[in-house]
């Protein structure tokens, strides 16, 4: 079920017929989609491309095209849900899943006929043994809720009939194994990296495809889907490709349209090349929390930091490109020199830049912010999520219209960052973060400024992480760093729905699924109350 020989087991198979490609709404998925589109274009493969936001979109997209499609590629979606149960496909339909979400659904993992999971070569996953999860044909047993356990297709003669005690012990072990497998949510290798490896093995890779792969990996880092160790490991692999494709050339061989990718150490400041240094410092979560810029003392410390850098305030508050050239060129070194004094040791990270001819350089993190903003554009009337998807897809294209879309995305991203910061300041100053025992929670009120910005998953998640970090720094509660955080924001005022996100504790590196122990405790209390009242517990607690 795991496909490592991507060309032979996947690409050569799907390239013979029309393919349905379903892509979720994040930058990594879009970059993976662009790489696959390029390969399809090279080989004249017919395909249908559709964006999906959730299960309903996934089901609708498949049902609408089920009659004419036998191969379906799912990019950053479908891996953690039972695809066959959800879509009810015919037996001859094959799904190719390239999804960084972990853990993968076990029904997908153990289906060898219709589910093919694309993996980076060498990547390993801890998957439970088949016999620990699925009962053999003569050992069908009901679990605690009365649901029959899934059967393994074997002959009755393959295993002896087990006693009821053995069945109970097996069922108990199964429940424990399943709980431990699904307990922690995390992300694996970027989908864009997986498909770039495919293009490389097919000898069809280029700087453009490599750049998309870099942006996909950077998206995982910027949105905290992977830790620094995983990022460094994958970035090192991409750096090898950068050196291979960007070796020095003769001057007379250079072109004004030549794409050049380089590795460099980058500041952990959002969009500072397209903003002012002062605004970037104030609206980047890392520096805003370190300086506590929502307080008068924090603002004074920020001004002290800028003064020690030798940056006049009027230089800091104008656009970066308009700053004095000498100050611009020495900025990184100056910050590194005094970073330890201000607790900013981690303000630098390894990243990649791209330059097309003699145009300005673009950092991978800038592209991530721009593409994400276009995907999460919820404030422009008349825009559907399909329109946003196409705009973001265009922004990854190196043409005049694409670069224009990218610039629009940069400006929109700055507006989103300002809206996020304003809401953080409101939460902190109005003391709207509440401790509910096992977890913290807050909600964005209807009618709040820029409330529409928080009706999208990535923006509301960024807001939640920003708020939690600020609260932990400011709170006198010693338990604050060990508590998860729940944030709700209005989704659709007409239907009265909201979007809810759960963030793991700052001190918890395991990235527990949902809210870990907080939800367990709530469920245990509900069950205990139900037994006490002699009533049936809720169906899904």
CB 205 within 8 A of CB 196: yes
Across the range 70-84, mean pLDDT stands at 95
Segment 409-448, tens digit of pLDDT:
999 999 999 999 999 999 999 999 999 889 999 999 988 8
Residue 422: the pLDDT is 95
Q: Is 396 left (phi over 0), alpha (psi -120 to 50) or beta?
A: alpha
Segment 6-32, tens digit of pLDDT:
888 899 999 989 999 999 999 999 999
Confidence of residue 136 (pLDDT cuts 50, 70, 90): low
Across the range 334-357, mean pLDDT stands at 91
Angle at 267 between CA 261 and CA 270, to 5 degrees: 95
CB 115 within 8 A of CB 97: yes
Across the range 50-75, mean pLDDT stands at 94
Secondary structure in 3-state letters for 291-340: HCCCCHHHHHHHHHHHHHHCCCHHHHCCEHHHCCHHHHHHHHHHHHHHCH
3-state secondary structure of 208: helix
CB 40 within 8 A of CB 69: no
CB 30 within 8 A of CB 23: yes
Classify each residue of 397-426 as buried b or exposed e, where b means 16 or more C-beta atoms within 10 Å of its C-beta: eeeeeebebbebbbebbbebbebbbebbeb
Give CB contacts under 8 A, 24+ apart, made by 495-500: 498/443, 499/454, 499/455, 499/456, 499/457, 499/460
DSSP string covering 518-541: HHHHHHHHHHHHHHHTT-PPPS--
Segment 304-332, tens digit of pLDDT:
999 999 999 999 999 998 999 999 999 99
Residue 257: the pLDDT is 59
Lowest mean pLDDT among 195-204, 344-353, 515-524: 515-524
Alpha helix (H) residue ranges in 189-309: 191-201, 207-222, 228-245, 277-283, 285-291, 296-309
Residue 255: the pLDDT is 54
3-state secondary structure of 421: helix
Q: Give the integer Cα–Cα distance in Å for 375 and 409.
A: 9
CB 28 within 8 A of CB 142: no
Lowest mean pLDDT among 153-167, 200-214, 435-449: 153-167
> Taking the chain, what is the end-to-end CA distance rounded to the nearest angstrom?
32
CB 208 within 8 A of CB 39: no
Identify the structural domains of the chain with CATH numbers, from first to last: 2-127 (3.90.1640.30), 431-540 (no CATH)
Whether omega before 103 lies within 30 degrees of 0, making that bond cis, reads yes
CB 119 within 8 A of CB 4: yes
Q: Which is nearest to 280 in space by CA: 329, 377, 373, 347?
A: 347
CB 462 within 8 A of CB 479: no
Angle at 62 between CA 201 and CA 75, to 5 degrees: 30
CB 33 within 8 A of CB 392: no
Q: Give the integer Cα–Cα distance in Å for 486 and 480.
A: 13
The pLDDT > 70 percentage for the chain reads: 86
Across the range 139-167, mean pLDDT stands at 52
- Whether 517 shows a pLDDT value over 50: the answer reads no
User: Count of CB atoms within 10 A of residue 297's CB?
Assistant: 10
Across the range 150-172, mean pLDDT stands at 64
- Whether 407 shows a pLDDT value over 50: the answer reads yes
Confidence of residue 130 (pLDDT cuts 50, 70, 90): confident
CA quadruple 516, 519, 521, 523: dihedral, nearest 10:
-140
Helix (DSSP H) and strand (DSSP E) numbers for the chain:
21, 17
**Distance of CA 197 to CAs 31, 85, 190, 323, Å?**
13, 31, 11, 40
Mean pLDDT of the chain: 86
Confidence of residue 248 (pLDDT cuts 50, 70, 90): low
Q: Give the integer Cα–Cα distance in Å for 385 and 316.
A: 36
Secondary structure in 3-state letters for 100-152: CEECCCHHHHCCCCCEEEECCCCCCCCCCCHHHHCEEHHHCCECCCCCECCEE
Confidence of residue 532 (pLDDT cuts 50, 70, 90): very low
Name the residue with higher pLDDT: 455 or 357. 455
């Amino acid at each position: 079920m795991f496909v490592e020989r991507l060309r032979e087991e996947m690409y050569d198979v799907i390239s013979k017929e029309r393919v349905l490609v379903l892509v979720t709404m994040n930058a990594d998925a879009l970059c993976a989609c662009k790489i696959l589109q390029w390969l399809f274009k090279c080989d004249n493969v017919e395909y249908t491309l559709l964006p999906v936001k959730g299960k309903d979109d996934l089901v609708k997209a498949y049902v609408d095209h089920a009659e004419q499609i036998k191969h379906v590629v799912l990019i950053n979606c479908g891996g953690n849900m039972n695809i066959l149960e959800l879509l009810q496909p015919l037996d001859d339909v094959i799904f190719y899943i390239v999804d960084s979400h972990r853990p993968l659904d076990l029904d997908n993992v153990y289906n060898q006929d219709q589910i093919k999971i694309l993996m980076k070569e060498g990547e390993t996953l801890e998957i439970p043994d088949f016999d620990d999860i699925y009962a053999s044909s003569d050992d069908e047993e009901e679990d605690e809720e009365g649901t029959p356990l899934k059967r393994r297709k074997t002959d009755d003669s393959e295993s002896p009939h087990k006693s009821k005690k053995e069945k109970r012990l097996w069922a108990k072990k199964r429940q424990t194994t399943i709980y431990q497998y699904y307990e922690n949510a995390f992300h694996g290798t970027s989908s864009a990296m997986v498909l770039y490896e495919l293009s490389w093995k097919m000898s069809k890779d280029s700087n453009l495809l490599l750049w998309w792969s870099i942006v996909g990996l950077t998206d995982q880092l910027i949105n905290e889907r992977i830790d620094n160790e995983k990022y460094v490991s994958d970035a090192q692999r991409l750096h090898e490709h950068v050196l291979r494709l960007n070796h020095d050339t003769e001057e007379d061989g250079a072109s004004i349209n030549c794409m050049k990718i380089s590795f460099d150490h980058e500041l952990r400041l959002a969009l500072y090349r397209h903003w002012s240094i002062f605004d970037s410092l104030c609206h980047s979560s890392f520096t805003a929390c370190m300086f506590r810029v929502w307080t008068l003392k924090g603002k004074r410390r920020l001004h002290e930091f800028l003064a020690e850098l030798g940056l006049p305030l009027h230089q800091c508050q104008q656009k970066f490109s308009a700053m004095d050239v000498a100050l611009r060129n020495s900025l990184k070194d100056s910050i590194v020199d005094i970073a330890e004094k201000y607790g900013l040791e981690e303000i630098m990270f390894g990243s990649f830049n791209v330059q097309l001819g003699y145009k300005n350089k673009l950092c991978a993190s800038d592209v991530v912010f721009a593409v994400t903003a276009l995907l999460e554009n919820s404030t422009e009337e008349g825009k559907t999520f399909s329109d946003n998807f196409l705009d973001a897809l265009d922004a990854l294209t190196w043409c005049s219209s694409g670069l224009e879309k990218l610039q629009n995305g940069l400006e929109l991203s700055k507006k989103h960052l300002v809206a996020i910061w304003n809401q953080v300041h409101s939460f902190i100053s109005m003391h709207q973060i509440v401790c509910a025992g096992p977890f913290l929670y807050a909600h964005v009120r209807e009618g709040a400024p820029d409330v529409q910005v928080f009706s999208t998953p990535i923006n509301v998640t960024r807001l939640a992480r920003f708020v939690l970090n600020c609260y932990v720094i400011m709170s006198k509660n010693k338990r604050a760093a060990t508590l998860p955080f729940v944030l709700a924001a209005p989704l659709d005022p007409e239907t009265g729905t909201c979007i809810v996100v759960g963030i793991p504790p700052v001190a918890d590196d395991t990235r527990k699924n949902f809210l870990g122990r907080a939800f367990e405790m709530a469920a245990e209390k509900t069950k205990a109350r139900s037994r006490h009242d002699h009533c049936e517990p809720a169906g899904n607690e």
